[in-house]
Structure 1
Amino acid sequence: MTETVRIYCQNNNTYKDFPIGSSLMHIFKGFNLDFPYPVLSAKVNNRAEGLNFRVYNNKDIEFLDFRDLSGMRTYVRSLCFVLCKAVADVFPNGKILLEHPVSKGYFCNLLLGRSVTSEDVERIKTRMQEIIDENLSFRRTECHITEAVKLFTERNMMDKVKLLETSGSIYTYYYTLGDYIDYYYGSLLSRTGDIKLFDVVKYYDGLLLRIPSRENPNVLEEVVKQEKMLDVFKEYLKWSDIMDMNNVGDFNVACNEGHATDIINVAEALQEKKIAQIADTIYQRRENGGKVRLVLISGPSSSGKTTFCKRLSVQLMTNGLRPYSISLDDYFVNREETPLDEKGNYDYESLYALDLKLFNAHLEALLRGEEVEIPTFNFALGRKEYKGNKLRIESNTILILEGIHALNPELTPLIPAKNKFKIYVSALTTISLDDHNWIPTTDNRLIRRIIRDSNYRGYSARETISRWPSVRAGEDKWIFPYQENADVMFNSALLFEIAVLRRFVEPVLTGVPRNCPEYAEAYRLLKFIKYFVPIQEKEIPPTSLLREFLGGSSFKY
């Protein structure tokens, strides 16, 4: 008699028995589920797994398609594997670096010893389609770490060798696709034939890997020009290259050799230099007739905007200017006037939750040299109050406004462009795990937010993770469409920060119960941060952006 395992399927809330050792794909077919899009992966006891995963015990399973971020990651990861194999097949002496997300796709640096041509890209794309048509299996092999290190050393993939050698693991795994091997830190699809839609195009001096839209996986994401963001990434990648620290393996080796303090000092100095340059630019525009009176600062959650504002204010003062911060929070409309979201709840992130008419009237009056009384919003009562907070600005005063809508043209339509200087702040992580595994900038920000919420807001990691999708949706709607409006972009990510944050976030993440949906994301983040050698935070200066999340800042918040 065949032994069986009992599977509970969360998609239809039913139990069913399957032969022991059945794959997730076999189980999916056995439940006869109806999905609008292809199923890409599954959560097994709230851990993400590929459909080749085999089950030997009773499990709870939830199948995922493009609409789930975990499913989308599986698709993109598999597509990247196909791209890397295609490059190896077409250009055996070439090398491809999968560097960072940009323009609704992924920028890839193709190293051929010469400029990349459109014909090169077309050859790669053709080979990718051939690999997909061959319907090859993505095979996962678990082995002792010394075996994996030997395999990658023989293929001169030293980025992976350093990562694995410094990971502290005894066993690891690698993937094969035909005769090509690679390493990915998450699940893959079952076969290359499961990839139905992609594109790869020449993009500036590299390639752009295009992926399906999560909202409508039958079409590709529309390419959005993000030249300024691409320039910021390139600037920081150049510095990483100068420091000989292009990936986590390089970073770990340097830390193990006693260079952590040097890394912290250089990274902090680079940020301070950049902030000083921004302040100098603002001052020079004023001196050259630009008449900048208002600095507008925007960026997504946990990008360090508040500390950036304080450090920029210090640098502006060294130029003889008097910065004065205005809080958009004080210009909320009275609560009953707040617009509603699609669920009928107050939408406090909407631009129209602000009293735009009053806000612009006050700005215009201030710029004319008049005195205005700034309101204070009483959040308990849900209305503006006036407490005699009067303001008149002098000739050397510069107003600083920080908020999610700061770069939206509708916020300050009555203020002439010559009076405004716009800054976009975000944690644009530039260090990669290895040449083929980038670190999502959203992961960097989520880790920061989990620590801050735990330290200062009394939220558990589970609560923060639960709220994160709605935070991201608000950013997609109100922040990201306007980021290229900025006069300058500031990267708040620090080369060393995840190694420091590891010690703070691990105990918070381990508190997420295994029986809740948020455990999958907590487990993924725990697995990811363990690639970093942990370092102490004691040498991080009190003015560091990280202090906004860790505590110990010399600034008051």
Structure 2
Amino acid sequence: MLNIQVLNDKLEVEKGTKFETLAKKYQKYFKSPILLAKQNNRLIELSNTIQKEGEIIFYDISHMEGMRVYHRSVSFLMIKAIKEMLGKKASVVIEHSLHKSLYCEVRESNVTVNQKFLDELTEKMHKLVERDIPIQKYAFYREEAMQKVREFGMENKARLFRFRRASNINLYEMDGVYDYFYGYMVPSTGYLKKFQLMLYENGFLIRFPDRKNPDRILEFTDPEKISGVFMEQMKWCTLMGVNNVADLNEVITDGKFGDLVRINEALHEKKVAEIADKIYQKRDKVKIVLIAGPSSSGKTTFANRLCVQLRVLGIVPHAISLDDYFINREDVPLDEFGNKDFEDINTLDLKLFNDHITRMIAGETVEMPHYNFVTGKREYNGEYGTLEKGGIFVVEGIHGLNDLLTASIASENKFKIFISAMTQLNIDDHNRISTSDSRLIRRIVRDNQFRGRDATTTIAGWDYVTRGEEKNIFPYQENADAIFNSATIYELSVLKQYAEPLLFKIDQSQSEFVAAKRLIKFLDYFLGANGDAIPNNSIIKEFLGGSCFKV
């Protein structure tokens, strides 16, 4: 017998008991079906058996780890249904996440994705759910795994397996269909009752339950501008001939990595110049450019590159730091956990900021504040600001797209830019790369390089960072006049060499181990590449070091 603890219960269970069996006894304490277990700081599928003593924690869809399992499992359900409808080699691609949904495209020339098709697909998926088909994991030798996925038309996975160092590869099986997934699955299709398919662009969205209200499908608000950026990035990937990690690895082995970097950076520069041109076309009206985006998007480098392009057009940019408009630290509002919320918009003296900008636009000169981060108070040191003819203010900060920040400034005087690293490169056709994970890897490297923080500290604070983004940034992204995608196709091949040693330092006893293990496995798909070809004005240099800008 094994001594374990679940919630506040201490009990004995027989060695070899399934986690799923134990989960059923505690289901009454959860709002939605339990999907995953954690023991000794390792995530464990419910289909596994209990082999060790220690506390067991169960996750349902309300926890991010549970939601990842649900997304992945419903994706497999959809793929199985597609292959039943169109044949075992039929191709469907999970392109990217959009407003917490997954955008998918069917890549069969004789198939039109319309409402009739989606209705049939939905019915097929629900029938598979009703059958409660087991989802089982099997280990194959690498060559066998490559042969198996080729049977189902998954050539991109077979090419990816060439670069795997492990001799064995785990494939999941659902009623005769085999596939490879990065992460864990539910035990059977009966767990997957809640989902909805919706026509979108050239394909369809898989919509999922609301984490806070799991009985309801999350409401979908169409982020048209963000969707347009993803579609543009898909074209960029095609232009560069790199749509997945296998393509990227082959570019590296073929000695063409430098060419890929140069093309990607040229596309970035072209986009920055296009945004500068839009501002120039409105130069008689626009007096302030507001740049906002989530953590590790490369806002500072982008702002500097934009300023260079504006100067080329004869516009003189003046940078203003929102940090200097912080209220005194003692007055910072508290969040729901009773901690000072330094990312709340009310940490800024909005009245003073609006007064200063309005007066300077009108031609007045004002004394500029300076925030002392040591004392936590705003100071005045005799520095003055004004806006001369042909000038424009450039303001970078997380609240740039929120109209509360510039409530007293006329809309025609503002140009808003949203920047984020919206990764389009995927591991393969069915395993996408999370934009949040990409930004986290950037931040781990930067924090260690320039702020003396280890990966444990960065990961520990990431939930706080992302909560702030959900509250303060993403709700306003569609307010932008222009959107810049700062992701590069090549970056993870370079960043992995900096990030992996930091992640391997995290011990299993630390709570951050689960995230570190996920990131290590994720980075293992990539071949490492030398970053010498990356120019010193690249956004990636903001994280690696060696930027020509003060970042």
* Both structures adopt the same fold (TM-score exceeding 0.5): yes
Equivalent residue for 1:78? Answer: 73
Equivalent residue for 1:495? Answer: 489
2:365 is the alignment partner of 1:368: no
Equivalent residue for 2:400? Answer: 406
Equivalent residue for 2:46? Answer: 51
SS at match of 1:348: coil
Distance, in Å, in 2 between the alignment partners of 1:334 and 1:186 is 45
Q: Counterparts in 2 of 1:138-157, with a 5 A limit?
A: 138-157=135-154
Distance, in Å, in 2 between the alignment partners of 1:308 and 1:77 is 34
Which amino acid letter does the alignment assign opposite residue 131 of structure 1?
A: L
Distance, in Å, in 2 between the alignment partners of 1:418 and 1:271 is 27
Q: Counterparts in 2 of 1:245-284, with a 5 A limit?
A: 245-284=242-281
TM-score (norm 2): 0.96
Distance, in Å, in 2 between the alignment partners of 1:31 and 1:423 is 48
2:127 is the alignment partner of 1:133: no
Equivalent residue for 1:11? Answer: 7
Structure 2's unaligned 5+ residue stretches are none
Distance, in Å, in 2 between the alignment partners of 1:111 and 1:309 is 38
TM-score (norm 1): 0.95
Q: Is the 8 A contact 2:90 2:152 kept in 1?
A: no
2:460 is the alignment partner of 1:460: no
CA shift, 1:484, in A, is: 0.5
CA shift, 1:408, in A, is: 0.3
Q: Counterparts in 2 of 1:284-323, with a 5 A limit?
A: 284-286=281-283, 289=284, 291-323=285-317
SS at match of 1:311: helix
SS at match of 1:387: strand
Which amino acid letter does the alignment assign opposite residue 445 of structure 2?
A: I
CA shift, 1:270, in A, is: 1.0
Equivalent residue for 2:121? Answer: 124
Equivalent residue for 2:102? Answer: 106
Which amino acid letter does the alignment assign opposite residue 441 of structure 1?
A: T
Distance, in Å, in 1 between the alignment partners of 2:37 and 2:253 is 37
The correspondence for 1:382, drawn from 362, 370, 376, is 376
Equivalent residue for 2:544? Answer: 550
Distance, in Å, in 2 between the alignment partners of 1:152 and 1:215 is 36
2:91 is the alignment partner of 1:95: yes
Deviates more, 1:73-82 or 1:88-97: 88-97
Cα gap change, 1:13/1:256 in structure 2, threshold over 3 Å: closer, same or farther? farther
CA shift, 1:298, in A, is: 0.4
* Identity value in percent: 41
Q: Is the 8 A contact 1:7 1:18 kept in 2?
A: no
SS at match of 2:282: helix
Deviates more, 1:25-34 or 1:105-114: 25-34
The correspondence for 1:477, drawn from 460, 471, 479, is 471
Cα gap change, 1:372/1:115 in structure 2, threshold over 3 Å: closer, same or farther? farther
Distance, in Å, in 1 between the alignment partners of 2:537 and 2:201 is 37
SS at match of 2:304: helix
SS at match of 1:388: strand
Q: Is the 8 A contact 1:43 1:520 kept in 2?
A: no
Q: Is the 8 A contact 1:267 1:495 kept in 2?
A: yes
Q: Is the 8 A contact 1:167 1:532 kept in 2?
A: no
Equivalent residue for 1:536? Answer: 530
CA shift, 1:169, in A, is: 2.2
1:264-315 Cα shifts (integer Å, max 9, x gaps): 11111111111111111111222xx4x1111000000111111111111111
2:506 is the alignment partner of 1:506: no
CA shift, 1:112, in A, is: 3.4
Please report the RMSD computed on the Cα atoms of aligned residues, expressed in angstroms.
1.6
The correspondence for 2:166, drawn from 160, 169, 178, is 169
Q: Is the 8 A contact 2:32 2:214 kept in 1?
A: yes
SS at match of 1:129: helix
Deviates more, 1:9-18 or 1:61-70: 9-18
Q: Is the 8 A contact 2:31 2:214 kept in 1?
A: no
SS at match of 1:330: helix
CA shift, 1:376, in A, is: 0.3
Q: Is the 8 A contact 2:292 2:417 kept in 1?
A: yes
Cα gap change, 1:292/1:126 in structure 2, threshold over 3 Å: closer, same or farther? same
Distance, in Å, in 2 between the alignment partners of 1:245 and 1:14 is 52
Deviates more, 1:341-350 or 1:432-441: 341-350
The correspondence for 1:422, drawn from 401, 405, 416, is 416
CA shift, 1:31, in A, is: 6.8
Q: Is the 8 A contact 1:40 1:75 kept in 2?
A: yes
Which amino acid letter does the alignment assign opposite residue 104 of structure 1?
A: K
CA shift, 1:57, in A, is: 4.1
2:192 is the alignment partner of 1:195: yes
Q: Is the 8 A contact 1:115 1:205 kept in 2?
A: no
CA shift, 1:27, in A, is: 3.6
SS at match of 1:432: coil
Cα gap change, 1:32/1:368 in structure 2, threshold over 3 Å: closer, same or farther? closer
CA shift, 1:167, in A, is: 2.0
Aligned residues, how many?
A: 549
The correspondence for 1:38, drawn from 28, 33, 38, is 33
2:177 is the alignment partner of 1:180: yes
Distance, in Å, in 2 between the alignment partners of 1:7 and 1:194 is 28
The correspondence for 2:341, drawn from 347, 365, 374, is 347
Cα gap change, 1:59/1:135 in structure 2, threshold over 3 Å: closer, same or farther? same
Distance, in Å, in 2 between the alignment partners of 1:547 and 1:192 is 45
Equivalent residue for 2:23? Answer: 28
Q: Is the 8 A contact 1:300 1:475 kept in 2?
A: yes
Cα gap change, 1:335/1:99 in structure 2, threshold over 3 Å: closer, same or farther? same
